[in-house]
Amino acid sequence: MNDTLIETLDAGMTPDSVGWKIARLKTLHAHGIRVPELFCLTGTAYHQAVAPVADTLEALVRNTDLDNWDQVCATSARIREVITDTGLGTEVERALEHHLATDFPDNPLLAVRASVIGAQGQGEDSAQNPFAGMSDSFLYVPPSGVKAAVLNCWASAFSPEGLLYRHRQHLPFSGLLVAVGIQRMVFGERSLVLFTCDPTSYAHNTVISATWGIGEGVVQEKAPVDHYFVHSRTHNVESVVAHKTTMVTLDADRGHGTVETAVPGPRIDIPVLADHEARSLARLGRDIEKIFGEPQDIEATFTEDGLVHVVQSRPVTIEADRHRIWSSANVSESFPDTTTPMTYSVARRFYWLLNHDYLRRSGVPESELHDLHETMTRLLGFLDNRIYHSINSFITMLSAVPMFDSVRRDWERLVAELDTFYHHTSDKPTGLRARSRRATRLITGWGRVARAYHTLPRDFKNFQTQWSELLQEVRTGATTNAHPLTLIADYRHTWRTAGRLWGITLVNYQFMVLFHKAVELAMDRWGIDEQETLFSQLLCGGRQLKGAEIALSAVRLAEQVRADAGLHDLFLADQPRTIWNHLDAGKLPRHFTEEVHRHIERYGDRGIAELKLEKSNLRDTPWELIRLIQQYAASDLTVADMEEVERGTRLAGEALLHTKLPRARLRRAILLGLFDRLRTTLYYREAGRYMRSELFGYSKQVIRALGTELHRRDVLSDPEDVFFLDLDELFGFIDGTGTTRDLAGLAALRKRDLEKSQALRPVREFATGDVVATSVPQLQDLSPHDTESTDELRGLGSCPGKVRGYARILSDPALDGQFPADSILITRETDPGWLYLMLASKGIVVERGSLLSHTAITGRKFGIPTIVGVPEATRKIPEGSLIEVDGGTGTVVILDQAPR
């Protein structure tokens, strides 16, 4: 028997021999996915049989005007006649009959499916060109009818649709082959098509179309279908149930073939799938997606016994040039909710200089940095006055770093927190020279990483020293008196210098990701469960993080107030502004006054949403520190208690680790060493973040001074209108490089835009496939499938502990009214400006964040049960409801929805 003519699931079935459609079934079978048994006539069998008429077929196509539909149809019909008249040939026919007899001795009904093999990998179900539905399949075929079905499958490669598709896609007709799969027919009671990502937005939600009968009813739209949407994070299911009057099934009268028939009355309006079946199918889809490494379009059927049989899987086709993914998952911690064009323009420049310096330090050649300039200036988008990461730009930029592929998945999880599939093609080198060059870059890159880790403490200390000196040089206090052109010159000098320093923060960030991955791998390999609880506990301790340092400084001031009866009475009786005026006039105790001024000098760039330039920070509104001290002084919070909580949490973690690895001293030492290094990178990260706040605070100082000057010159109607310009517009007006003099008109327009945007409820992540500004969805489009009511929500436990309290849902930390001691804070995300409310809360629940986010770190630091990444928490948890928060398991249980 000629093994090149027929291949089976046990041997062969590569894309080159049987096409992608059949080869993927072989791959699924090899991974344990239930696939109906089959064998396949290869492309070689087609070539051998059709070779005598190949020139005739090519001539027919060549002499056809493929833009003339009538000619295309006529040519297709003629080619079908030629192939049918030519037949299988003696050898192919003999091989086919042999396998029908040996592989299917029970004479079952069969499915006969064409699988077109195109030149250069451009065949049916390839990633680039799916040719979906353009070649024939024949169902419920008796063995006696297989030969005719094979000939029709061969001819279907030249169907009118197939000819037109190849012509319009500029694909070659020469070298085209057709394989044919002969498969045991599964008698499907229910059938479906499943997409592992939403084909309209690429969101990583499962979309299922299902109907009664066999899959032809879904694929060829011959029957009404139900739709099911399974949300990737919550696993909630929304269904749209159709009135299903017809289905496609076996033609029982003939005993073969298909027929459209009426759906039995009781089934017409009931769902084809139960919710638990939709979730199970979503898990199956994820498993198949992992096998192929990209989103899949899957056809499957349920038999009467409830088993699922997969009959096809192909990649979801993505228009990469138009596809853009936008995410605020990480950036919203720095720039929450709406902001102004000025903040966006400064943030965009900061991201450019930060990443340019990081790539330079990572050894990316100057020529590549030049080519990536446009990408790096577009890492952020400004959509409905909200800042989003452009995931496509980030992936393109980071792919220039040789080591990025090895940490890509961790970056997606810890930084981007993606639910949406993104398309990125890495140009893999071909040829010995190109592969050698890539290997050399990879080795050199990891060598740079090792060297950078060795020098990280020294380099970061140098960064802190140089930045401190630079900031002291430019922040002289004379900003408001300097000439506008002098201010601009100083500003540009500061940012140029910062651009040669800031990359070290991303070098540190890469080590944070690496050590986080190492910890997870070690805990997983050594069988340590309760990872989230133990992880949170062991991250406590170590060097004091900047945010905690600032909080402890404020608590110390509150302790001084409590220790002085006169101060305590004053702080209890008067308003913060009044108390500040007393302090500023020298009417309060000297030591306390000096300590307050020292706090503002050191930490004055801290504030609510402090990176938003339009927002005031502590340096601008020092009486807010007085308000904070008042709140701490009214409690019994002490520095010693806070430090003891952290120490106790760490000791509890070490004790838990000992119970998990009682006899593995070396493993415990390794794990504790990894945690020590992870804590060090977190310390550097938090220090770098505050220095970033200082850079933005300095920028705010300069821009506000320029706004005041332009208002004095009657250019702006209000000094604060300067924040409704972008940096180039502001500087351009002053130095002659701008494009308009009507800055007041621009500001007025932008104010109207902001008002409209503030009325919109944003999405965390979305994809666009068209003009971006017209494609931004609102909340009703964010998760249309996530409407299930539940009394239990899940997220990522970040600090262990179980507490009960009353939900206090806040959109910003500017508290209006009291915050009772039994309150649990519920919000979308936090930044350092939330610290007071976080410390005053029994527990914390936020919609966003990871184990290394600001919220998670703060909760751990101060022993507050904390859960991050709880989808739609602010919507699903009623205000004032009694809830239970378990920071170890990551669960929120609504005990009583009635508000207190």
- Asked if 302 and 578 touch (Cβ cutoff 8 Å), the reply is no
pLDDT above 80 for 119? no
CA distance 342 to 191: 54
Which residues have CB under 8 Å from 126's CB, separation 6+?
Answer: 20, 118, 315
Which of the two residues, 467 and 168, has the higher pLDDT score? 467
> What are 243-295's pLDDT values in tens digits?
888 888 888 888 888 888 898 988 999 999 999 999 999 999 999 999 998 88
Percent of the chain clearing pLDDT 70 (strictly above): 90
The full length of the chain comes to 900
- Average pLDDT rounded to a whole number, residues 464-476: 89
Tokens of 495: 């940012």
> What are 540-579's pLDDT values in tens digits?
888 888 888 998 999 999 999 999 999 999 998 899 999 9
Residues 122 and 269 in one domain: no
Which residues have CB under 8 Å from 182's CB, separation 6+?
Answer: 38, 39, 40, 41, 96, 99, 100, 110, 111, 112, 146, 150
CA distance 650 to 860: 10
Residues 133 and 253 in one domain: no
- Among 84-88, 392-396, 834-838, where is mean pLDDT lowest? 834-838
CA distance 721 to 345: 15
CA distance 555 to 572: 16
Residue 170 lies in a domain: yes
pLDDT above 90 for 900? no
Residue 138 lies in a domain: yes
| C-alpha radius of gyration, the chain, whole number | 33
Residue 855 lies in a domain: yes
Residues 882 and 798 in one domain: yes
CA distance 210 to 222: 12
- Chain position carrying tokens 């401190």: 468
Percent of the chain clearing pLDDT 90 (strictly above): 49
Residues 282 and 256 in one domain: yes
- Average pLDDT rounded to a whole number, residues 718-736: 97
Residue 859 lies in a domain: yes
Residues 200 and 52 in one domain: no
Q: Domain holding 798: CATH number?
A: 3.50.30.10
pLDDT above 70 for 667? yes
Of 657, 689, 720, the last residue of a domain is 657
Residues 139 and 17 in one domain: yes
- Chain position carrying tokens 């399974």: 230
Residues 137 and 234 in one domain: no
Query: Which residue in 436, 394, 437 sits closest to 412, CA to CA?
Result: 394
Neighbours of 680 (CB within 10 A): 19
Q: Maximum Cα–Cα distance for the chain, whole Å?
A: 109
- What's the pLDDT score for residue 129? 47
Residue 701 lies in a domain: no
Residues 173 and 196 in one domain: no
pLDDT above 80 for 456? yes
Residues 33 and 139 in one domain: yes
- Average pLDDT rounded to a whole number, residues 154-174: 80
- What's the pLDDT score for residue 299? 93
Count of domains in the chain? Answer: 4
Tokens of 705: 């001074």
- Average pLDDT rounded to a whole number, residues 619-642: 89
Residues 134 and 205 in one domain: no
Which of the two residues, 424 and 310, has the higher pLDDT score? 310
CA distance 552 to 544: 10
β-sheet bridge partners, residue 163: none
Residue 865 has what DSSP assignment? -
> What are 822-873's pLDDT values in tens digits?
899 999 878 777 777 888 889 999 887 666 677 877 787 778 888 887 878 8
Calculate the alpha carbon distances from 820 to 808, 842, 859 in Å.
9, 10, 18
The three-state DSSP-derived secondary structure of 560-611 is HHHHCHHHHHHHHHCCHHHHHHHHHCCCCCHHHHHHHHHHHHHHCCCCCCCC
pLDDT band at 231 (very low <50, low <70, confident <90, very high): confident
Long-range contacts of 106-109 (CB under 8 A, 24+ apart): 107/142, 107/143, 108/184, 108/185, 109/140, 109/141, 109/142, 109/185, 109/250, 109/256
Residue 865 CA, distance from chain mean position: 26
Mean pLDDT of the chain: 86
pLDDT above 90 for 392? no
Neighbours of 212 (CB within 10 A): 25
- Asked if 860 and 548 touch (Cβ cutoff 8 Å), the reply is no
- Average pLDDT rounded to a whole number, residues 629-652: 88
Which of the two residues, 603 and 409, has the higher pLDDT score? 603
Tokens of 831: 């930044």
Tokens of 856: 């998670």
pLDDT band at 180 (very low <50, low <70, confident <90, very high): very high
- Average pLDDT rounded to a whole number, residues 90-95: 92
- What's the pLDDT score for residue 536? 83
Of 184, 211, 239, the last residue of a domain is 184
Mapped onto helix, strand or coil, the DSSP state of residue 163 is helix
Residue 347 lies in a domain: no
Tokens of 577: 């502004």
The three-state DSSP-derived secondary structure of 397-411 is HHCCCCCHHHHHHHH
Indicate the residue type of 137.
Answer: S
For 820, the domain range is 787-896
> What are 346-361's pLDDT values in tens digits?
999 999 999 999 999 9
Residues 224 and 92 in one domain: no
- What's the pLDDT score for residue 249? 87
Phi, psi of 420 (to 5 degrees): -100, 140
- Average pLDDT rounded to a whole number, residues 694-699: 96
Of 612, 627, 657, the last residue of a domain is 657
Residue 466 lies in a domain: no
Tokens of 341: 């064009």
Tokens of 827: 């919000």
- Average pLDDT rounded to a whole number, residues 199-228: 78
- What's the pLDDT score for residue 133? 44
- Average pLDDT rounded to a whole number, residues 175-188: 90
- What's the pLDDT score for residue 185? 92
pLDDT above 70 for 530? no
Residues 55 and 163 in one domain: yes
pLDDT band at 416 (very low <50, low <70, confident <90, very high): low
Residue 888 has what DSSP assignment? T
CA distance 562 to 558: 6
pLDDT band at 689 (very low <50, low <70, confident <90, very high): very high
pLDDT above 90 for 332? no
- What's the pLDDT score for residue 131? 46
- Asked if 807 and 826 touch (Cβ cutoff 8 Å), the reply is yes
pLDDT above 90 for 234? no
Indicate the residue type of 516.
Answer: H
Residue 752 lies in a domain: no
Q: Domain holding 260: CATH number?
A: 3.30.470.20
Neighbours of 368 (CB within 10 A): 11
Q: Helices marked H in 829-891 — which ranges?
A: 835-840, 854-861, 873-876
Which residues have CB under 8 Å from 523's CB, separation 6+?
Answer: 531, 534, 535, 671
